[in-house]
Copies of this chain bind each other. A is one copy, B any other.
């Protein structure tokens, strides 16, 4: 058993990490930190963990004896913590946005602050497991992708890796409200969001450059991404509907074959006719489907649990890579289905 800690465990991603780590056969969860909640029971904040995670929040970790640290801290906070932990030789998986964007100017533009840890930014491996497993396997420091970038990149990767996309890619994303975090806001006030689907941050969501970076890297040149997130009145789950034009004539069957080949050994990606969110809820799975809709127009749909494959589950999957275990270790269970 290796020893792990979660830093910043008071939010949904922290709770989800604890849920998964508490059942992981090779990881012992030693500590969960929260500056505001230090000394209080983790299960007071996350009542579903009672009987599974009977720790108290600690104010901070001391790295002694830890093998891996999961940072569930907000952006800005992570880059203050990472240098010291990395220096101490402990492996780190950062779930914030601080180390995802390779270009610090892009970071500054979208996150509104200067990046203060260029060393580790250069060293960070982007933890989209299905694409970069080998790199992650060799890494000590992984930047865990955002939920939208995970969901959309998995749906689009085969097309971009095969250089088949022409022009702008449109991503219309619908997310459950848990993605907005544990703090009440106007946007997540039930009367505001419980009876409608609400677009937000149109054209200015921070996941936009992250998606563009992944797709650009895949195809070898800059991808133009238009990304619109919406809140839907469900708690968990996310669906991305994506629109693009092929640069060649291909049939639906040819595309499906390409996707099947691309994801051949990827346990967590399933091709399906129409992705259905309940089939992945609670699990690390992603479902992907597509349709040709006239001419060279393709609609790709993908769905994940935003807190699992879109956050804590993928972090565990990355951890599995970093320690040389099979990717499904501790994640080998199906979605709820209904």
Contacts and interface: CB of A to CB of B under 8 A. Distances in A.
A196 interface: yes
Given A177-B194, A233-B234, A170 B243 contact: yes
Interface in A259-294: 267, 270, 272, 274-283, 285, 287, 291-294
Given A168-B297, A195-B281, A226-B294, 10 more contacts: A170-B243, A177-B191, A190-B235, A191-B338, A202-B291, A202-B293, A203-B294, A203-B299, A230-B241, A235-B278
A279 B52 CA distance: 12
Given A47-B337, A232-B233, A279-B48, A182 B191 contact: yes
Interface in A174-209: 174, 176-178, 180, 182-186, 188-200, 202-204
A295 interface: yes
Contact of A276 (B198, B203, B292, B301): B198
A6 to B, nearest CB: 14
Interface in A280-338: 280-283, 285, 287, 291-295, 297, 299, 301, 303, 307, 332-338
B191 A226 contact: no
A107 interface: no
B174 A230 contact: yes
A209 to B, nearest CB: 11
B50 A270 contact: yes
A114 B172 CA distance: 36
Interface residues of A, number: 89
A51 interface: yes
Contact of A46 (B203, B235, B285, B337): B337
A237 B190 CA distance: 14
A100 interface: no
A48 B278 contact: yes
14 contacts: A47-B272, A51-B334, A52-B334, A170-B172, A170-B243, A174-B230, A177-B194, A189-B189, A197-B277, A198-B274, A198-B276, A199-B299, A199-B301, A281-B336
Contacts of A57: none
Contacts of A167: 167
B267 A51 contact: yes
Given A23-B333, A184-B188, A279-B48, A235 B194 contact: yes
A34 B236 CA distance: 31
